[in-house]
Structure 1
Amino acid sequence: MNKPATAIPQLTFRAVLLAIVLAMILAAANAYLGLFAGLTIATAIPAAVVSMGVLRLLGGGTILENNIVQTGASAGSSIAAGVIFTIPALIILGYWDDFRYSWVLAIAGLGGLLGVLFSVPLRRSMIVEEPLAFPEGKAAAEVLKAGENPGPGLKILAMAGAIGAFVKLAAESGLRLIPDNAVASGFIGKYLGYMGTNLSPALLGVGYIVGLNVGIVVVSGSILSWQFAIPIYQAFFMDSDPALAASVAGAGAADIAGAIWSAKIRYLGVGAMLIGGVWTLFSLRKSLISGVKSGFAAARKGAGHVVAETERDLPMKWMLIALAVFVIPLWMLYQAIVGSWGVSLTMTVIMIVAGFLFVSVSAYLAGLVGSSNNPVSGITIATILFASVVLMLLLGRDSDIGAVAAIMIGAVVCCAAAVGGDNLQDLKAGYLVGATPWKQQLMLGIGAFSCALVMAPVLNLLASAYGIGAPTAEHPNALSAPQATLMAAVAKGMFGGKLPWTMIAIGAGIGAVVIALDEWLKSRGSKFRVPVLAAAIGIYLPLELMVPIFLGGLLSHLVERRHKIGDDEEARDRIHRPGTLFAAGLITGEALMGIAIAVPIVVAGSADVLALPESLHFSQWIGLVVLALVGWLLYRTGARANPAKSTV
Structure 2
Amino acid sequence: MTGGETKHALRKQMIEIDRLRFPTGTAVATILKTPGSGIEKARLLFFGMVISAIIYLIQQFPLFGLPHIIPEVVDLGSALHLPEWINLTIALSLMVFGMGLITGRNGLIVLAGGILSYYIITPVVKALGWLPAEVQGAAISSYVYGNMTRPLGIGMLLGGSIAGLILSLPVIAVAMKSLAQASKVKDSNGNNEELPIYYLIGGATLAFLLLLVTAYKLGGLGLGRSLLTALIGVAWIFIASLLVAMSTGMTDWSPVSGLSLVSVMILLYLTNKNVPLTILMGATVGVAISGAADMMQDLKTGHMVGAIPSRQQKVELLTAWLGPIIALTVVGLIWNAYGIGNEKVPAPQAMALKSMVEAVLGGSVPIDKFIAGGLLGFALSLSGVPGLGVLVGLSMYLPMLYIIPYGIGCVVNEIAKRKKGYEFIVEKVLPFAAGLMVGEAAMTLLFAVLTVAGVLQP
TM over 0.5: yes
Q: Which residue of 2 aligns with 1:181?
A: 73
In structure 2, which of residues 91, 94, 113 is the aligned counterpart of residue 198 of structure 1?
91
Task: Give the secondary-structure state (helix, strand or coil) at the position aligned to 2:390.
Answer: helix
CA distance in 2, matches of 1:491, 1:276: 25
For each residue in 1:129-167, what CA deviation from the matched residue of structure 2 results, as whole angstroms up to 9, or x when unmatched? 999526659978898788634544343333322322232
Q: Which residue of 1 aligns with 2:407?
A: 550
Q: Tell me whether 1:237 sits opposite 2:129 in the alignment.
A: yes
How far is 1:377 from its partner? 2.9
For each residue in 1:312-353, what CA deviation from the matched residue of structure 2 results, as whole angstroms up to 9, or x when unmatched? 555666776777778766766666752458466654444444
What is the one-letter code of the residue matched to 2:118? W
Q: Tell me whether 1:511 sits opposite 2:377 in the alignment.
A: yes
Query: For the structure 1 residues 330 and 514, does the alpha-carbon distance in structure 2 shift closer, same or farther, using more than 3 Å as the test?
Result: closer
Structure 1 window deviating more from structure 2 (273-282 vs 341-350): it is 341-350
Q: Which residue of 2 aligns with 1:110?
A: none
In structure 2, which of residues 220, 243, 251 is the aligned counterpart of residue 373 of structure 1?
251
Structure 1 window deviating more from structure 2 (174-183 vs 186-195): it is 186-195
Q: Which residue of 1 aligns with 2:437?
A: 587
For the 8 Å contact 1:327–1:348, the answer to whether it is kept is yes
In structure 1, which of residues 153, 166, 175 is the aligned counterpart of residue 41 of structure 2?
153
How far is 1:475 from its partner? 1.7
How far is 1:297 from its partner? 3.7
Q: Which residue of 1 aligns with 2:3?
A: none
For the 8 Å contact 1:182–1:198, the answer to whether it is kept is yes
How far is 1:219 from its partner? 2.0
Q: Tell me whether 1:443 sits opposite 2:315 in the alignment.
A: yes
For the 8 Å contact 1:273–1:511, the answer to whether it is kept is yes
Q: Tell me whether 1:478 sits opposite 2:346 in the alignment.
A: yes
CA distance in 2, matches of 1:361, 1:456: 24
For the 8 Å contact 2:16–2:303, the answer to whether it is kept is no
Q: Tell me whether 1:538 sits opposite 2:410 in the alignment.
A: no
1:301-380 matches, cutoff 5 A: 301=184, 308-311=189-192, 313-314=194-195, 338-340=219-221, 342=223, 347-355=229-237, 365=246, 371=249, 373=251, 377=255
Q: Tell me whether 1:220 sits opposite 2:109 in the alignment.
A: no
Q: Which residue of 1 aligns with 2:275?
A: 400
In structure 1, which of residues 403, 414, 419 is the aligned counterpart of residue 289 of structure 2?
414
CA distance in 2, matches of 1:362, 1:226: 23
In structure 2, which of residues 144, 158, 164 is the aligned counterpart of residue 274 of structure 1?
158
How far is 1:583 from its partner? 1.6
CA distance in 1, matches of 2:161, 2:447: 36
* Structure ranking higher on relative contact order (CA contacts 8 Å, 6+ apart): 2
Task: Give the secondary-structure state (helix, strand or coil) at the position aligned to 1:218.
Answer: helix
For the 8 Å contact 2:77–2:87, the answer to whether it is kept is yes
In structure 1, which of residues 606, 609, 627 is the aligned counterpart of residue 457 of structure 2?
609
How far is 1:552 from its partner? 0.6
For the 8 Å contact 1:407–1:487, the answer to whether it is kept is no
How far is 1:288 from its partner? 1.9
For the 8 Å contact 2:157–2:243, the answer to whether it is kept is no
CA distance in 1, matches of 2:226, 2:43: 51
Task: Give the secondary-structure state (helix, strand or coil) at the position aligned to 1:237.
Answer: coil
Query: For the structure 1 residues 327 and 374, does the alpha-carbon distance in structure 2 shift closer, same or farther, using more than 3 Å as the test?
Result: farther
For each residue in 1:146-205, what CA deviation from the matched residue of structure 2 results, as whole angstroms up to 9, or x when unmatched? 863454434333332232223223336964433222223379999954433221111111
Q: Tell me whether 1:499 sits opposite 2:365 in the alignment.
A: yes
For the 8 Å contact 1:205–1:549, the answer to whether it is kept is yes
Q: Which residue of 2 aligns with 1:292?
A: 176
Task: Give the secondary-structure state (helix, strand or coil) at the position aligned to 2:88.
Answer: strand
For the 8 Å contact 1:314–1:438, the answer to whether it is kept is yes
CA distance in 1, matches of 2:61, 2:176: 47
Q: Which residue of 2 aligns with 1:82?
A: none
Q: RMSD of the TM alignment (CA)? A: 4.5
How far is 1:404 from its partner? 1.6
Query: For the structure 1 residues 359 and 285, does the alpha-carbon distance in structure 2 shift closer, same or farther, using more than 3 Å as the test?
Result: same
Query: For the structure 1 residues 374 and 355, does the alpha-carbon distance in structure 2 shift closer, same or farther, using more than 3 Å as the test?
Result: farther
CA distance in 2, matches of 1:204, 1:391: 38
What is the one-letter code of the residue matched to 1:400? V
For the 8 Å contact 1:205–1:586, the answer to whether it is kept is yes
How far is 1:553 from its partner? 0.9
CA distance in 2, matches of 1:439, 1:447: 12
Stretches of structure 1 lacking an aligned partner (at least 5 in a row) = 1-121, 523-528, 566-571, 611-648
Query: For the structure 1 residues 533 and 501, does the alpha-carbon distance in structure 2 shift closer, same or farther, using more than 3 Å as the test?
Result: same
For the 8 Å contact 1:377–1:414, the answer to whether it is kept is no
CA distance in 1, matches of 2:363, 2:62: 38
What is the one-letter code of the residue matched to 1:499? V
What is the one-letter code of the residue matched to 1:289? A
CA distance in 2, matches of 1:164, 1:271: 35
Task: Give the secondary-structure state (helix, strand or coil) at the position aligned to 2:69.
Answer: coil
For the 8 Å contact 1:403–1:491, the answer to whether it is kept is no
How far is 1:459 from its partner? 1.6
Scaled by the length of structure 1, the TM-score of the pair is 0.56
Structure 1 window deviating more from structure 2 (158-167 vs 341-350): it is 341-350
CA distance in 2, matches of 1:485, 1:507: 22
Task: Give the secondary-structure state (helix, strand or coil) at the position aligned to 2:155.
Answer: helix
What is the one-letter code of the residue matched to 1:539? M
Q: Which residue of 2 aligns with 1:644?
A: none
Q: Which residue of 2 aligns with 1:168?
A: 56
How far is 1:413 from its partner? 3.2
For the 8 Å contact 1:205–1:587, the answer to whether it is kept is yes
For the 8 Å contact 1:160–1:589, the answer to whether it is kept is yes
In structure 1, which of residues 561, 569, 576 is the aligned counterpart of residue 426 of structure 2?
576
For the 8 Å contact 2:50–2:439, the answer to whether it is kept is yes
For the 8 Å contact 1:204–1:549, the answer to whether it is kept is yes
Task: Give the secondary-structure state (helix, strand or coil) at the position aligned to 1:197.
Answer: strand
How far is 1:597 from its partner? 2.3
Query: For the structure 1 residues 310 and 485, does the alpha-carbon distance in structure 2 shift closer, same or farther, using more than 3 Å as the test?
Result: farther
Task: Give the secondary-structure state (helix, strand or coil) at the position aligned to 1:310.
Answer: coil
